[in-house]
Amino acid sequence: MLKAVFFDLDGTLLDTVPDIQACVNLALAKFGCPPISYEQTCSYVGDGAKLLIERALPQGSPDLDACYEFFRKEFAADSSERTRLYPDEMQVLRALKERGLRLAVVTNKPQDAAERVLAKFFPADLFDFIGGDTGMFPCKPDPSLARYGALKLRVSPAECAFVGDGETDARVAVNAGMFGVSVLWGYRTREQLEQAGAATFAGNYLQLQKILEKFS
């Protein structure tokens, strides 16, 4: 029986790629590098900000650390102007909460950026745990942060679902011993998710609600 649901952030709770792309391209321009497209940004996100910048820069660029720090500062200053919720999302999250499920976020986004954007779009009492990249735990698909979140919520991993749009989310669900649900409204295709081991899929938030309520 499910007692808690963990969510990825980018591409799962919020459509953040337009803002990410804008900040990445600002950083690339600062260091004289060509911009990346929306499609490239979608394929680069999900594994942490440092790896995002590494993928966006020309191979072997000596400017990785400086470009990353510039990106972090710009993203902190203005990171949600173009960010949007997904259809039916808020009503589904409220319904899950009213059902007694604990809601949590585990993301490879830096902790400060995650807390800031979640505070803008969601009520303060909606999420019981927010875990981002602080340097304390390895990034997903390592299960350490997800397991730590379960510990903080006083539930076992087997009593948790992990919902996300990326390969890392499908893998962290397996690695953490959680029930994985891969969503198809984010930045990866069903085929990419299946190759990462995903077996349960939701095409929209209403479908996700039905899946989670079936096991709670």
Residues 202, 107 share a domain: yes
What pLDDT shows up at residue 79?
A: 65
Residues of the chain falling short of pLDDT 70: 78-79
The CATH number given to whatever domain includes residue 36 is 1.10.150
Asked if residues 46 and 11 have their Cβ atoms less than 8 Å apart, the reply is yes
Q: Are 142 and 91 in the same domain? A: yes
Q: Are residues 25 and 69 in the same domain?
A: yes
Structure tokens at 66: 């400086």
Give the per-residue pLDDT at 149: 98
Could you tell me if 50 and 149 lie in one domain? no
Q: Which of 33, 48, 77 is the last residue of a domain?
A: 77
98-122 pLDDT, tens digit per residue, is 999 999 999 999 898 899 999 999 9
Residues 7 and 102: beta-carbon distance below 8 Å: no
Distance CA 86, CA 181 (A): 17
> Could you tell me if 204 and 135 lie in one domain?
yes
Do 45 and 142 fall within a single domain?
no
Reported as half-sphere exposure (CB side, CA atoms, 13 A), residue 30 has a value of 17
Domain that holds residue 36: 17-77
First-residue to last-residue Cα distance in the chain = 5
Q: Cite the DSSP H helix spans in 78-127.
A: 89-98, 111-121
106 shares a domain with 186: yes
The structural domain count of the chain equals 2
pLDDT at residue 78, as a whole number: 65
What pLDDT, on the 0 to 100 scale, is given for residue 60?
86
46 touches 166 (CB < 8 A):
yes
Look at residues 85, 64, 182, 68 and name the one whose alpha carbon lies nearest to residue 133. 68
What's the chain's Rg over C-alpha atoms? 17
**Domain CATH code at residue 143:** 3.40.50.1000
Phi, psi of 106 (to 5 degrees): -130, 115
What residues are labeled active site? 8
- Does 22 share its domain with 100? no
